[in-house]
C-alpha cells in the first residue's frame, strides 16, 4: 500500500540540483494526496522561472515508480514560492523579495534592453515583477514601454503620498525619466544624482514583488554606492558585449560590486550582442564583436555565465529608431531572453540558499 | 594656332571646386607642351587621393575644346603635390606635411581600424603615409599589422639614435605598443602617459611624409593636450558609431578639439559600423545601431561628413579573432574606406588653403 511516509521517503532521494539538497529537506513537497495507486503532490520551487522544472518533475515520478510502486499514477503539480535573502526589516521596499541590479561597466552594451527583457521574461513564468529604471543619465524605459510624457499617479500609503508604478506588459514599471527633466539630469553630478535617486527609491510604492529589476546607470560610481546604501540588494547582473573594451569595463564593474564598500553578490554575467543574426536567416551567425568574450570572462572570474543574447534584426525593421523590440516577436531573441531569465532566477535561488541574508551596505565614507 | 597663352587662358576657366579658385590662379598647371593640335599638360593636385580628379581632368579637356580648338588632342597628366598648412619650423616631425589625429569620444567604435585603413587608402592613391599608433592604453597596430613581438631598428639621425618606423603594406608604421610594456601602460595615468607619448613622438624618425595619421587613445584628456602641445596638428578626424551613446561622446570629443586650449581644426566625422552587411549578401543592409546618426551629428555641428563605413562580415571569417581585415579583401569595405580617405584628403586640402597655418598649441596651463 502506498503511504505518505513512503512517498516522502522516496522524494527524499530527489535532489534540487542547484541547492544541493533533497526536496524533503528543503521543505519543497506539499499537499500529498493518495487514493489507491494515485499519488498527487505539489513541489514548491524557489522560482517560477526555474529551468530545471521538468527535470525535477521527472525525477519525482521516477523515484515514486522505483522506490514506492511501479503501478503508481503520479501527478506532480509544480508551483513556486520565490525565495528571498532578505531579513532586514528595512522600511524601503519592504515587500520586495529580491532586488536585482542590472549594471554594465560601459554604455552602449544594451543594458536597458537586457534589464527590461529580464523583467518581462521573469513575469512570463508567473512571477510578480517590477522594473525600476534608475539610469539617471539616460532613462530608456519611457521610450521602450511607450510611456513618454505620461505622469504617474499618486497613491496614499499609510497617510503618505507615494508614486504608483505603471503597469505594462504584465509588469510594474517606473522610470526616473518620468519624474525628472531629462535635460536637467545630464548635468547632474555625484551628489545631485545620488540624492535624486535616493528620493526615487523611497517615493515609489512598489507593493508585493518577487523580483524588482533595477536598470542602473552605466559605469561605476556614486549612484551605485547610494543605491546599495539605501536598499538591500540581492545581487547584480553584469551586461557586456564580447568586445575587448566592453569586457575590460565589465571587469571594473564586477570589481566595484565585489569591493569591501559595496559587497553585492554577482549573480552572473550576460553577453549581449553575442552575434548578429539576420531575422530572415536565423541560421547565419556573425560574430561581429568577437566570439564568446563574455563567456570567457565569466570563466576567468569564476562567476555564473547567464547567457548569450544575439543581435537579431530584419531589413524591414531596420529603420531610424534603433529601439530593439522588447515584446519578443522574434523567436530566437525570445528564447535567448527566456534562457537568460531562467539562469538568473536559478542564480538568485542559489544565492538565497547559500549566502547570508542581504543587508544594506553600511555607510563607511 | 594653339598657343601656351590660349591654353592657360582656357584653363583659367576651370575651377578647383573645393578651393573655389581656378587652376591657373592656384598655380596647378605645369609643363604645357604644344605640337600642332596636340596639347599636353600636367595638373598638380593638392592630394593624390583627390576624388575630383576625373571631374577636373574632364573640365580641362572641355575648356580646351570649347575655348581653344575643337580639334585639339588633349592629354592631361594628373599628379599631386600634397599641400601643407605647416610653416612652423618645428624640430619635431619636420618633414611631415600633414599631421592627422584620428580620435573618438568613446572606446569600441573602431577608431584604430579606421585610422589604419585611412593610412592605407591614402597610400594606395600614391601619397607617402605614416601611421603612428599613440593609443597608449590599447595599442592595436602590433596585432593589426602582424608586428607583435618585433623590436624596431635604431637609426642614426644627425648623431642621435632614433627609432625607425617599420614598413608594412606600403606605409610606415610605429606603435607605442612596440616600445612599452602593455601591462605597464594600463596603469599609467595622466602625467606618466603624457610623458611616454611625448618621448614616443620625439624618438621616432618619420622622414618625408605627406600624411602622418595618428591613432589617438579614445576619450578626451591629458594625452590629447600633450600631443597638440608637442606637434602642429593639421586637423582631427572624429570616429563614431550611429549609437546615441557614441554620438554623445563624439560631441564631447569635438568640443574638446574646438576648445580654446586646443583649437585643432575638425577635418570631419566618419560613421563606423554604419550598418551591417553579410559578405555573402552585400545588398542586405541592417542598421543595427540606428540609421545615419553620424551623418545627422555632422550636419548639426556643421562639420564635414567624411563617410560611412559598414560592418561587413562573412560567416566563414567570423572566428575568434574579431580583427577586421585591413587588407581590404571585401569590395564594399574597400570602396567605403577609399571614399572616406578621398573625402579626408579633400578636407585637408581645403583646410590648408583656407585656414591659418598649423601651429603648436601653446601651453596655457
Q: Read out DSSP for B182-221?
A: HHHHTT--HHHHHHHHHHHHHHB---SEEEEEEEPPSSSS
**Residue B248: count of CB within 10 angstroms of its CB:** 18
Inter-chain touch B322–A286, beta carbons under 8 Å = no
Residue in A with minimal Cα distance to B109: A245
Q: Using a CB-CB distance cutoff of 8 angstroms, which residues of chain B are in contact with residue A276?
A: 276, 286, 288, 313
B276–A288 C-beta distance less than 8 A: yes
pLDDT value for A316: 63
Q: How many CB atoms lie within 10 A of CB B258?
A: 15
The answer to whether A253 is annotated as binding is no
Cβ proximity of A45 and A56 under 8 Å: yes
- Residues in chain B with CB shorter than 8 Å from the CB of A290 are 320-322
CB B85 within 8 A of CB B359: no
Q: CB B68: neighbour CB atoms within 10 A?
A: 20
Write the CB contacts of B160 (distance below 8 Å, at least 6 apart in sequence): none
Q: Which chain A residues are within 8 Å of B107, Cβ to Cβ?
A: 106, 245
For residue A319, give the nearest of B291, B311, B314 by CB distance. Answer: B291
Q: Helices A244-258 and A293-301 sit at what angle, rounded to 10 degrees?
A: 30
State percent of chain B over pLDDT 90: 52
Alpha-carbon distance of B137 to A278, in angstroms, equals 34
**Chain B contact set for A274 (CB, 8 A):** none
Q: Does B246 sit within 8 Å of A108, measured CB to CB?
A: yes
d(CA B238, CA A196): 34
Q: Is the pLDDT of residue B185 over 80?
A: no
Mean pLDDT split into 10-residue runs, chain A, 365 residues: 94 92 94 95 91 92 94 94 81 88 90 94 93 88 86 87 91 89 61 80 91 90 82 94 89 88 91 92 89 94 96 64 52 90 94 78 54
Subunit contact B242:A285, Cβ cutoff 8 A: no
- Which chain B residues have a beta carbon less than 8 Å from that of A242? 322
- For an interface test with B, the pick among A107, A312, A319 (most B C-beta atoms closer than 10 Å) comes out as A107
The chain A residue lying nearest B291, using CA atoms, is: A320
- Please check the confidence at residue B51 and state whether its pLDDT lies above 60: yes
The length of chain A in residues reads 365
| Residue B318 pLDDT class (50, 70, 90 cuts) | very low
Burial class of A111 by CB neighbour count within 10 A (0 to 12, 13 to 18, 19+): buried
Of B50, B215, B27, B252, nearest to B118 by C-alpha is: B215
Q: Are A78 and A193 within 8 A, CB to CB?
A: no
The confidence score (pLDDT) of residue A256 equals: 87
Q: Which residue of B107, B249, B281 is the best one to mutate when testing the A interface, meaning the one whose CB has the most A CBs within 10 A?
A: B107
Asked if the model's pLDDT at residue B79 lies above 90, the reply is yes
Give A-chain residues touching B276 at CB under 8 angstroms: 276, 286, 288, 313
Q: Work out the minimum CA distance from B200 to partner chain A, whole angstroms.
A: 24
* Distance separating alpha carbons of residues A172 and A174, to the nearest angstrom: 7
**Does B139 reach chain A within 8 Å, measured CB to CB?**
no
Which 51-70 residues of chain B touch chain A by CB within 8 A?
A: none
Chain A hits for B320, CB-CB cut-off 8 Å, are: 287, 290-292
Indicate the SS3 state at residue B313: strand
How do residues B320-335 score in pLDDT, each as one tens digit? 343 444 455 678 888 9
Q: What is the pLDDT of residues B86-138, one digit of tens each?
A: 877 666 888 899 999 999 988 889 999 999 999 999 999 899 999 999 988 78
Question: How many CB atoms are closer than 10 A to CB A106?
Answer: 24
Residue A197's pLDDT is what? 82
Q: Is B251 annotated as a binding residue?
A: no
Residues 6+ apart with CB under 8 A from B35: none
Q: How far is CA A298 from the centre of its chain?
A: 17
Can you read off the three cell numbers belonging to residue A302? Answer: 569564476
**pLDDT tens, residue by residue, B247-274:** 988 998 899 888 887 889 999 999 999 9
B contacts of A314 (beta carbons < 8 Å): 286
Distance (Å, whole) CA B1 – CA A290: 67
Residues in A touching B319 (Cβ below 8 Å): 287, 291
Q: Which residue of chain A comes nearest to B108, CA vs CA? A: A245
Q: How close is the nearest chain A Cα to the Cα of B275, in Å? A: 9
Contact B291 A320 (CB under 8 A): yes
Are residues A243 and B322, on separate chains, in Cβ contact within 8 Å?
Answer: yes
Cα separation, A57 vs A23, whole angstroms: 11
Tell me whether A322 touches chain B (CB under 8 Å). Answer: yes
Identify which of A218, A245, A291 has the shortest CB distance to residue B107.
A245
Chain A residues within 8 A of B285 when measuring between CB atoms = 315, 318
Nearest residue in chain A measured CA to CA from B246: A108
Q: Confirm or reject contact between B113 and chain A (CB < 8 A).
A: no
**Cβ separation of A311 and B288 shorter than 8 Å?**
yes
A104 in contact with B, Cβ within 8 Å: no
CA dihedral over B356, B361, B362, B364, signed as positive or negative: positive
For B127-166, the pLDDT digits (tens) are 999 999 998 878 888 888 888 888 888 888 888 888 999 9
pLDDT of residue B173: 94
Q: State how far residue B311 is from chain A, nearest Cα, in angstroms.
A: 8
**How much is the pTM?**
0.82
Helix (H, G, I), strand (E, B) or coil at B310: strand
Q: Which residue of A has its CA nearest to B287?
A: A318
B107 annotated binding-site participant: yes
pLDDT of residue B319: 37
Q: Which residues have C-beta within 8 Å of that of residue B259, sequence separation ≥ 6? A: none
What DSSP assignment string belongs to A283-344? Answer: T--B-TT-SSHHHHHHHHHT--EEEEEEEEE-TTT-SS-----SS--SHHHHHHHHHHHHHH
Amino acid at each position: 500500500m502506498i503511504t505518505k511516509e513512503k512517498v516522502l521517503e522516496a522524494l527524499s532521494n530527489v535532489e534540487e540540483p542547484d541547492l544541493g539538497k533533497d526536496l524533503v529537506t528543503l521543505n519543497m513537497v506539499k499537499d500529498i494526496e493518495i487514493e489507491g495507486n494515485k499519488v498527487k503532490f505539489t513541489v514548491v520551487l524557489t522560482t517560477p522561472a526555474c529551468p530545471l522544472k521538468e527535470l525535477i518533475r521527472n525525477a519525482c515520478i521516477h523515484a515514486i515508480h522505483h522506490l514506492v510502486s511501479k503501478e503508481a499514477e503520479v501527478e506532480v503539480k509544480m508551483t513556486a514560492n520565490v525565495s528571498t535573502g532578505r531579513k532586514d526589516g528595512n522600511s524601503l521596499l519592504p515587500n520586495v523579495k529580491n532586488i536585482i541590479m542590472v549594471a554594465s561597466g560601459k554604455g552602449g552594451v544594451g543594458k536597458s534592453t537586457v534589464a527590461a527583457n529580464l523583467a518581462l521574461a521573469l513575469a512570463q513564468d508567473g512571477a510578480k515583477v517590477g522594473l525600476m529604471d534608475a539610469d539617471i543619465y539616460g532613462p530608456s524605459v519611457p521610450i521602450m514601454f511607450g510611456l513618454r510624457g505620461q505622469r504617474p499617479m499618486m497613491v496614499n500609503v499609510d497617510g503618505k503620498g507615494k508614486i504608483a508604478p505603471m503597469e505594462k506588459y504584465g509588469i510594474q514599471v517606473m522610470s526616473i525619466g518620468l519624474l525628472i527633466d531629462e535635460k536637467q539630469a545630464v548635468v547632474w553630478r555625484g551628489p545631485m544624482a545620488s540624492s535624486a535617486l535616493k528620493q526615487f527609491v523611497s517615493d515609489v510604492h512598489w507593493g508585493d514583488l518577487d523580483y524588482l529589476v533595477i536598470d542602473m546607470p552605466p559605469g561605476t560610481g556614486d549612484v551605485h554606492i547610494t543605491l546599495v546604501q539605501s536598499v538591500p540588494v540581492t545581487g547584480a547582473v553584469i551586461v557586456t558585449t564580447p568586445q575587448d573594451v566592453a569586457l575590460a569595463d565589465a571587469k571594473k564593474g564586477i570589481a566595484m560590486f565585489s569591493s569591501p564598500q559595496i559587497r553585492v553578490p554577482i549573480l552572473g554575467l550576460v553577453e549581449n550582442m553575442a552575434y548578429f543574426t539576420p531575422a530572415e536567416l536565423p541560421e547565419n551567425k556573425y560574430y561581429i564583436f568577437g566570439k564568446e568574450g563574455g563567456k570567457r570572462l565569466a570563466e576567468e572570474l569564476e562567476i555564473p555565465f547567464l547567457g548569450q543574447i544575439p543581435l537579431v534584426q530584419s531589413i524591414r525593421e531596420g529603420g531610424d529608431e534603433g529601439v530593439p523590440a522588447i515584446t519578443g516577436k522574434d523567436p530566437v531573441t525570445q528564447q535567448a531572453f527566456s534562457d537568460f531569465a531562467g539562469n538568473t532566477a536559478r542564480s538568485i535561488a542559489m544565492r538565497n540558499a547559500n549566502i547570508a541574508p542581504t543587508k544594506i551596505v553600511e555607510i563607511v565614507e
